[in-house]
Amino acid sequence: MARFVFITGGVVSSLGKGLASAALGALLQARGYSVRLRKLDPYLNVDPGTMSPYEHGEVFVTDDGAETDLDLGHYERFTGVAARRTDSISSGRIYQNVLDRERRGDYLGKTIQVIPHVTDEIKDFIRIGEDEVDFMLCEIGGTVGDIEGLPFFEAIRQFAQEKPRGQCIFVHLTLLPFIAASGELKTKPTQHSVKELRAIGLAPDVLVCRAEGPIPAREREKLALFCNVRPEAVVAAQDLKSIYEAPLAYHREGLDQAVLDAFMISPAPRPNLARWEDVIDRIHNPEGEVRVAIVGKYTQLEDAYKSIAEALVHGGIANRVRVRSDWLEAELFEREEDIAALLEPYDAILVPGGFGERGTEGKIRAAEFARTRKVPYFGICLGMQMAVIEGARNLLDLRDAGSEEFAGGDGQPFTPVVYYLKEWMKAGLAVRRSAEDAKGGTMRLGAYTARLVEGSQVAGIYGALEISERHRHRYEVDIKYRDRFEASGVCLSGLSPDGRLPEIIEIPDHPWYIGVQFHPELKSKPFEPHPLFADFIRAAVEQSRLV
Ligand code: GLN
């Protein structure tokens, strides 16, 4: 049966709780244990699928088609363990489940209450698959003291109480602010945060303290004394240049040792950190640099494209180069006459996924620039659709080509080369959709297989003829233009197994021009860069040598 680590946060949000959890997962793996990471989010949305990227950052999609929190992306990137639908839950989903049961009559007429009904539902969730791994790491979103979070804190208290002693531990992440005037790291906010935890019956075993510098012995002892933890269990979390330093940095600070000590695992298996040492060596000692322009919509908030930003870094790791990514607002390309001046400094252009019309004409112009100027172009999901519309307008001479997602909004007739997908196959069964469907959870979501054309560029990159990638889209390139596209030099080199849905386009007579309907960035890892990102950066390196 699994041991459970509950990770909570205090003082302020955004301290890197997800990263700390992911790094701890990686360190336990390095000691030979199997792990699974979970996120319990107190917000009331049923899932983040309908939340704006400005609100919540990227939506991370799992193989089994769940739209989840971006922290699951960190978990996967650090552990390589594919996240599942059952690794992420929100208060909204918990309440929905409880209310569904109430409607079904499962509670036999009882009054439904937070304790025990909501907390039972949370505990049932935490238990899913507990026999499969050595360690289950559960991160509670938000900070202690948030009203929404209370049922989760209460549930983990009960959970630990019900398990045999020593099977659950609590890790609490806080901030040690530095007061310049007195030159001191302040422990008081951490003391208060722990006091808050103890008031609801939770006592941390390990304190992870985010601080700008090392924690001096005096502060460490003070924290240990006032927060009732051992001095060795006060772990410093310092700012890092790269997030991938986190496993090694936390190991140096003793996080994994403190966790194993709290479980009284002795002697602790020795860690093998070679994988992380190699990743860090490649990040710290690059042999060159490339510049990539990401032309998108939610560019002010890097978290909106978190997995893309990371997958590009992984592409750099694969080629031993530093990747400098600049986020360019697509609308800029609609206003500017001379977009060449904006794009010429870059060795490659990436147009990521997105929703809605704003900025699409700018993305189409960026795709045209990349195609005609022979600059490597990577179109992901909407970015592929943009490339297809550009090709239809300029190569097939369908001047009014557009997508049903936005064209026609002004009442003007248009040719839908990208249409609203109303039916597709999933595991041998037809899935049907209509415009009247609810928005949440109704896209073509999760892992689908694609067949690659033998001899195509992508077949070479993947080294396979069948691939599985994660999807999140409602619109699709119309297969009926295939012959015309191929006659004009754009190949549909990947298709759904039934041959109806274009999954990949490529231009053989171009250094690197690939569009994919899926999201390869979701499966890339620093120690296993996604082949498309690795090859895209390779092409960018070649491009950088041309100019
Ligand atoms: N908006 C497009 C669609 O729904 C693209 C989606 C995406 O980029 N994830 O098909």
Q: Ligand 1 mean position to 475 CA, how many Å? A: 6
| CA trace torsion 395, 401, 402, 403 (10° rounding) | -90
75, 138: one domain: yes
Taking residues 41-51, report their average pLDDT: 83
Looking at per-residue confidence, does 414 or 123 come out higher? 123
217, 196: one domain: yes
Taking residues 530-539, report their average pLDDT: 98
38, 126: one domain: yes
246, 295: one domain: no
Strand ranges in 51-199 using DSSP code E only, listed in sequence order: 60-61, 67-68, 88-90, 135-140, 168-175, 178-179, 184-185
Q: What is the CATH number of the domain that holds 378?
A: 3.40.50.880
Ligand 1 pocket check: which of 472, 477, 478, 521 to mutate, most ligand atoms within 8 Å of Cβ? 472
Q: Tell whether 424 is covered by a domain.
A: no
415, 483: one domain: yes
Last residue of a domain, one of 279, 303, 335: 279
pLDDT of residue 292: 97
Give the chain's domain count. Answer: 2
Beta-ladder partners of 102: none
pLDDT of residue 13: 81
Last residue of a domain, one of 279, 306, 336: 279
pLDDT of residue 244: 97
Q: Tell whether 441 is covered by a domain.
A: no
- The fraction of the chain above a pLDDT of 90, given in percent, is 78
Q: Tell whether 409 is covered by a domain.
A: yes
**Residue numbers annotated as active site:** 381, 519, 521
Q: Whose CA is nearest to atom 1 of ligand 1?
A: 355
Q: What is the CATH number of the domain that holds 156?
A: 3.40.50.300
- The fraction of the chain above a pLDDT of 70, given in percent, is 99
Q: What is the pLDDT of residues 403-424, one digit of tens each?
A: 999 877 777 888 999 999 988 9
Buried residues in 302-312 as b, exposed as e (16+ CB within 10 A): eebbbbbbbbb
114, 262: one domain: yes
Q: Tell whether 457 is covered by a domain.
A: no
Q: What is the pLDDT of residues 185-204, one digit of tens each?
A: 999 999 999 999 999 999 99
Q: Tell whether 452 is covered by a domain.
A: no
Name the pLDDT band for 282 (thresholds 50, 70, 90).
Answer: very high
Last residue of a domain, one of 216, 245, 279: 279
190, 252: one domain: yes
Q: Report the C-alpha gap between 546 and 539 in whole angstroms.
A: 11
178, 319: one domain: no
Taking residues 472-496, report their average pLDDT: 96
Q: Is 296 in the pocket of ligand 1 (CB under 6 A)?
A: no
Q: Which amino acid is at 385?
A: Q
pTM given for the model:
0.93
Question: Does 57 score more than 90 pLDDT?
Answer: no
Are the beta carbons of 57 and 303 closer than 8 angstroms? yes
Q: What is the pLDDT of residues 283-336, one digit of tens each?
A: 999 999 999 999 998 766 778 899 999 999 999 999 999 999 999 999 888 887
265, 306: one domain: no
Q: Tell whether 364 is covered by a domain.
A: yes
Q: Which amino acid is at 497?
A: P
Q: Is 405 in the pocket of ligand 1 (CB under 6 A)?
A: yes
Residue 466's H or E segment, with its range, is: strand 466-473
Average of per-residue pLDDT values in the chain: 93
137, 210: one domain: yes
Domain span at 411:
286-419+476-546
pLDDT of residue 52: 76
Q: What is the pLDDT of residues 236-268, one digit of tens each?
A: 998 899 999 999 999 999 999 999 999 999 998
Q: Is 474 in the pocket of ligand 1 (CB under 6 A)?
A: yes
209, 305: one domain: no
Q: Whose CA is nearest to atom 5 of ligand 1?
A: 382
Query: Which ligand 1 atom is nearest residue 356's CA?
Result: 1
Q: Tell whether 353 is covered by a domain.
A: yes
Taking residues 511-523, report their average pLDDT: 97
Q: Tell whether 430 is covered by a domain.
A: no
Sign, Cα dihedral of 457, 462, 467, 472: negative
Q: Is 381 in the pocket of ligand 1 (CB under 6 A)?
A: yes
Name the pLDDT band for 182 (thresholds 50, 70, 90).
Answer: confident
275, 290: one domain: no
